Amino acid sequence: MPGSSVTISGVEKFYDDFHVLKNINLEIKENEFFSLLGPSGCGKTTLLRIIAGFEDVDSGDVLLDGKSIVDIPPNLRPVNTIFQSYALFPHLNVYENIAFSLRLKKLSENEIKQRVEWLLNLVRLEEHAKKKPSQLSGGQKQRVSLARALANEPKVLLLDEPVSALDAKLRQELLIELDNLHDKVGITFIYVTHDQSEAISVSDHVAVMNNGVIVQYGTPYEIYESPADPFVAMFIGESNLMKGIVKNIISENYVLIEFPSLGEIICYRDKPVKEGDSVLVTLRPEKIRITHTKPTLSEDSFTNVIHGIVDETIYMGYQTKYFVKTDNGFILRVYKQHVSYLLDEKIIQWKDEVFLYWNPDDSFIVEVEED
């Protein structure tokens, strides 16, 4: 099934006086797995409904393969939507739910049989073909919804938080299945979610939305490692946000920033700044190393070292979360991954004196307020 490219050009949407979407511009490539990510009320579902044809635009355009579709009714667009609620026909079995749209097209019974059997095999439901929806688990119901949506051979599949009603383990399993399914059918997937872990685990590109605008677009790696602003830094994963003053421009790539609660820290100069600027810096907890003893560092390593006391610990099996109070009272979150188990290792515990250190390349300036 070949997919289509989707272009969103200057789309604006109002609900009475409420400005839902503000000049949205997006390029979604054919056959890619694309995610719209953001908190509830940011406009991502409204944008999805506009692509599907369930909502009109107040201005702007939506194009499939370069051709406008804003005047085409939903049932004539080569687009299908998967909803959170499954929307299966309770009186029809799995086979007939998938075959329903094919019967409306008046395909022959042989064509219907071949298509449905192929789809049942694709979503691994061959043994459940005669069951009613009430006899299926949540994950199985969602797979029936996927098969039914793919029966029409759409160019674009829209997925509106399709796994949010499932438990955590099942969500992860279905996400993997979705990713594998996308690889097999090859059409364009546009996935809407408020869960950052879902978006960054399966997507080729992600658009982060907030208050009706796209605040950052990029690959999952780019968005996680280089957040564009404080909102993205805190919404995508977890982060330490620290406010300070630029004290010195060390080089083209590094600056010395003085933080009232941390002291002087060297940070990566990813935004244009000058001495005296007030800046907000983000630092991911997993980028920080924690030890009982002060590390020995060479002068050219540009590694930051902070002393503190462990204020709280949360053991999670695969990692431990430490909340460390620095000498000036600032709480830094530090995540230590448990990649190996050493019987003779001295475990860092509550109230222990510790040293934290990290590379300046992991400290990003996300906001600048000029002096």
Question: Closest Cα partner for 98 from 155, 157, 161, 146?
Answer: 146
The Cα–Cα gap between 6 and 30 comes to 7
The beta strand positions in 67-196, using DSSP E, are 67-68, 79-82, 156-160, 188-193
Token pair recorded at residue 134: 């009430």
Token pair recorded at residue 284: 């991911």
Q: What average pLDDT does the chain have? A: 90
pLDDT at 317: 86
pTM strictly above 0.75: yes
According to DSSP, the β-strands at 263-268 and 304-315 are: unpaired
CA angle 31, 164, 13 (to 5 degrees): 65
Q: In order of start, what are the domains of the chain with their CATH numbers?
A: 6-234 (3.40.50.300), 238-369 (2.40.50.140)
The beta strand positions in 141-199, using DSSP E, are 156-160, 188-193
Question: Closest Cα partner for 29 from 155, 215, 212?
Answer: 155
Residue recorded with tokens 């939305």: 209
What are 243-248's contacts with CB under 8 Å, separation 24+?
Answer: 243/278, 243/279, 243/280, 243/281, 244/278, 244/279, 244/281, 245/276, 245/277, 245/278, 245/279, 246/273, 246/274, 246/275, 246/276, 246/277, 246/279, 247/275, 248/275
**368 close to 273: Cβ distance less than 8 angstroms:** yes
> SS3 for 194?
coil
pLDDT at 62: 97
Instruction: Give Cα 295 distance to the centre of its chain.
Output: 35
pLDDT at 1: 64
**122 close to 142: Cβ distance less than 8 angstroms:** no
The Cα–Cα gap between 208 and 366 comes to 15
pLDDT tens for each residue of 341-352 = 665 568 899 999
**Is the model more confident about 317 or about 340?**
317
**34 close to 204: Cβ distance less than 8 angstroms:** yes
pLDDT at 342: 60
pLDDT tens for each residue of 160-170 = 988 776 777 77
pLDDT tens for each residue of 227-262 = 999 999 999 988 999 999 999 999 989 999 999 888
Dihedral over alpha carbons 127, 133, 139, 140 (to 10 degrees): 20
Residue 309 has pLDDT above 90, yes or no: yes
pLDDT tens for each residue of 186-199 = 899 999 999 888 89
For residue 63, the cross-strand partners are 7, 68
**51 close to 24: Cβ distance less than 8 angstroms:** no
